[in-house]
Structure 1
Amino acid sequence: MMALFWHGALLLSLAAAMSVYADMKLDCRPDFVTLVWTESRPQADTSLFRLGNCFPTSVSLREAVFSVDVNDCNFKRLVTGDKLIYLNDLTYISSPDSHIVPFTHPVVCVHERPKDWYPLIYDPVFNTYGQGNLVFHIELRNADFSGPAETTSFPLGSFIPIMASVAQNTHQPLLLLLEECVASTTPELQPESSIYPIITNKGCLVDSKISRSKFQPRQTSSEIQLSLQAFRFALGEEVFIHCELVAWDPTLLDNTKKACHYVKDYGWELLDNPEYSNLCDCCDSSCKSRRTRSTASGKRGIVQKAVLGPLTITDVNS
């Protein structure tokens, strides 16, 4: 395996140059990553940096250092062709009185795929899509979202962990949303396709009204995790989940750009800030935007269609 070292030749190009205020050095080893973020702004608090869900290994007045295993910190693994890619985000969580706004920077390590590396006993279900300078990714995960799923078969009533993410590269920090999702027995939706609605009405997890499905708390703005309770649809057949992923300006949430799930004895709740759950009030009617700006313009966000599957839902009683 050819590892990447400081500014190694195989590192995916992070086309945007580092801010004049900071510098990032990344050392990608086969199983270990070292990241050093150096700040020149005296008002920056280096303890507020996070790599995925990991705190810095050490901090000083100007540096945040992370020395971590690639199996930790919510690194996402992508195997494509002869490349083994690890993706993550470095985020700055600004304090309320800080002049430095929160931001996210992509972290990408690329290795040659080991000759002795083989997939698990099943084919991991994931898909990657590129649009503009954004790379969208959706996959099945294991029960705690810490790694790829170990099976594509789910008993009725169990949970199907789904994670979607966007690698932002040169783009401003964006919030990833699942705008619409339906299950179908076909990899392409047709007018005659039989479907099961999961997320409708611009981000409303309608399945959560009749099940224990829910969005999980975010680890970073560029990914979203969904615990989907296996439903009674096309039992024993191949099922494909069709979604529209939206990378959106996090400052422009409204009733058409949101992530809402239903909480028993409470009602609809906004994932990213429950205090603004009134944005979910339209989930039982029709969510229409008051804004005139089109997402297709790409100025505030990008929409990407994605398909996850096949997976199988089984009836344990049959």
Structure 2
Amino acid sequence: MMAFFWHHELLLWFVAVGLAAAEMKLDCGLEFVTLVWSDSGSQADASLFRLGSCFPTTFTPREVVFNVELDNCNFRRLVSGNELNYTNDLFYMSSPGSYVLPFTLPVVCSYQRPKDWYPILYEPVSSTYGVEDLLFHIELMNADFSGPAETSTFPLGSMIPIMASVEEVAHQPLLLLLEECVAATTSDLETAVETYTIITNKGCLVDSKITRSKFEQRQKASELQLSLQAFRFELGQEVYIHCTMFAWDPNGLDGTKKACHYVKGHGWELLDNPVYSSICDCCDSSCKTRRARSPGAGNGLFQKAVIGPLVITDLA
């Protein structure tokens, strides 16, 4: 990835309810990061640790190890002065009834910024829609979701960051969901000859079963971040992504109101509370629609949206 970096090892000591002295060791490499969490007291369930969106590479009752690429696990990239920082979070999910409380620790790898690095500027691809007292928005983002995308061209296999959001104007707090998303070569989905399914079945990211696509950990309930791996569909042509956004009661998740993605080796996982991932079991069959409960004065609000054009290019 880069031949310039500041190698460092970070030792942190953490004390919490149910945890004795626990040690976190971070080793930042050129393309890979190794993080080791050790707890001699063995109070925590090692399987419940996550580094960003990644599960442990290996774990024992006393040690959790992550060997991951900087391009994975929802690492966020930030350029500041002469530094290029990749940041993430190590978090412990805990479990129902456990006396070990959930916690989060920052993870930072710092590298020297290349002298010839500069951002590529272009007109951002975004769309805004108003419905009743809500304002829906969807756009292409940069790699760490900190601002608009720097390009609308993506090599096959690279990640396409997309963020959808809803502004809650004089409305109770709402959860933003993506119910359906498909790709087409036209901005009018009704005239499309071929499509590529990304999200279907009331919030199931089916593309994640065959690619590295995933929902990122939420920063706000009213925002949903999607890392979509560039897929083989009409390479070199303009592509539009058509989605149905849905604002809903944060406490009203069920089989028809959810955000689920597939985690290799673990199965379907519910973004907003993995403990209740059984909600996602219908993703491999049919998530039937049922009469909607009201998230306030009226039902949840849908909004059709389209983002593009963007271009996926072949690596060959």
Asked whether the two chains share a fold, i.e. TM above 0.5, the reply is yes
Corresponding residue for 2:283? 283
Matched, 1:306 2:272: no
Corresponding residue for 1:216? 216
Q: Distance in 2 between matches of 1:296 and 1:240?
A: 31
With normalisation by structure 2, the TM-score equals 0.60
1:255-286 superposed Cα distances (whole Å, 9 cap, x missing partner): 00000000001000000000110000000000
With normalisation by structure 1, the TM-score equals 0.60
Corresponding residue for 1:247? 247
The verdict on how the C-alpha distance between 1:187 and 1:296 changes in structure 2, with shifts beyond 3 A counting, is farther
Matched, 1:201 2:201: yes
Task: After TM superposition, give the deviation of residue 128 of structure 1 in Å.
Answer: 0.2
Q: Distance in 1 between matches of 2:312 and 2:214?
A: 18
Matched, 1:256 2:256: yes
Corresponding residue for 1:160? 160
Pairs within 5 Å for 1:256-275 = 256-275=256-275
Q: Distance in 1 between matches of 2:301 and 2:231?
A: 30
Corresponding residue for 2:315? 316
Task: After TM superposition, give the deviation of residue 193 of structure 1 in Å.
Answer: 2.5
Secondary structure, counterpart of 2:190 in structure 1: coil
AA at the equivalent of 2:151:
T
Aligned residue pairs total 198
Q: Quick check: 1:181–1:200 contact (8 Å CA) kept in 2?
A: yes
The verdict on how the C-alpha distance between 1:149 and 1:192 changes in structure 2, with shifts beyond 3 A counting, is closer
The verdict on how the C-alpha distance between 1:144 and 1:192 changes in structure 2, with shifts beyond 3 A counting, is closer
Corresponding residue for 2:174? 174
Note the residue ranges of structure 2 that are not aligned, 5 or more in a row. Answer: 1-75, 77-119
Q: Quick check: 1:248–1:301 contact (8 Å CA) kept in 2?
A: yes
1:26-64 superposed Cα distances (whole Å, 9 cap, x missing partner): xxxxxxxxxxxxxxxxxxxxxxxxxxxxxxxxxxxxxxx
1:132-162 superposed Cα distances (whole Å, 9 cap, x missing partner): 1100000000000011100000000000000
The verdict on how the C-alpha distance between 1:170 and 1:297 changes in structure 2, with shifts beyond 3 A counting, is closer
Task: After TM superposition, give the deviation of residue 122 of structure 1 in Å.
Answer: 2.2
Q: Distance in 2 between matches of 1:270 and 1:296?
A: 20
Q: Distance in 1 between matches of 2:314 and 2:168?
A: 40
1:170-201 superposed Cα distances (whole Å, 9 cap, x missing partner): 00000000000000000011265310000000
Matched, 1:292 2:291: yes
Secondary structure, counterpart of 1:190 in structure 2: helix
Corresponding residue for 1:188? 188
CA-atom RMSD in angstroms: 1.9
- Identity across the alignment (%): 68
Task: After TM superposition, give the deviation of residue 121 of structure 1 in Å.
Answer: 4.1
Secondary structure, counterpart of 2:278 in structure 1: helix
AA at the equivalent of 1:304:
Q
1:100-136 superposed Cα distances (whole Å, 9 cap, x missing partner): xxxxxxxxxxxxxxxxxxxx74221000000011000
Q: Distance in 2 between matches of 1:267 and 1:229?
A: 18
Q: Quick check: 1:296–1:303 contact (8 Å CA) kept in 2?
A: no
Secondary structure, counterpart of 1:277 in structure 2: helix
Corresponding residue for 2:141? 141
Q: Distance in 2 between matches of 1:185 and 1:298?
A: 38
**Would you tell me which structure has more strand in proportion to its own residues?**
2
Q: Distance in 2 between matches of 1:252 and 1:159?
A: 30
Q: Quick check: 2:248–2:295 contact (8 Å CA) kept in 1?
A: no
Matched, 1:238 2:238: yes
Note the residue ranges of structure 1 that are not aligned, 5 or more in a row. Answer: 1-73, 75-119
Q: Quick check: 2:158–2:230 contact (8 Å CA) kept in 1?
A: yes
Secondary structure, counterpart of 2:275 in structure 1: helix
Pairs within 5 Å for 1:73-84 = none
Q: Distance in 1 between matches of 2:304 and 2:297?
A: 15
Secondary structure, counterpart of 2:277 in structure 1: helix
Secondary structure, counterpart of 2:310 in structure 1: strand
Secondary structure, counterpart of 1:254 in structure 2: coil
The verdict on how the C-alpha distance between 1:298 and 1:177 changes in structure 2, with shifts beyond 3 A counting, is farther
Secondary structure, counterpart of 2:279 in structure 1: helix
Q: Quick check: 2:178–2:244 contact (8 Å CA) kept in 1?
A: yes
Task: After TM superposition, give the deviation of residue 251 of structure 1 in Å.
Answer: 1.2
The verdict on how the C-alpha distance between 1:265 and 1:271 changes in structure 2, with shifts beyond 3 A counting, is same
Q: Distance in 2 between matches of 1:145 and 1:241?
A: 18
Secondary structure, counterpart of 2:142 in structure 1: coil
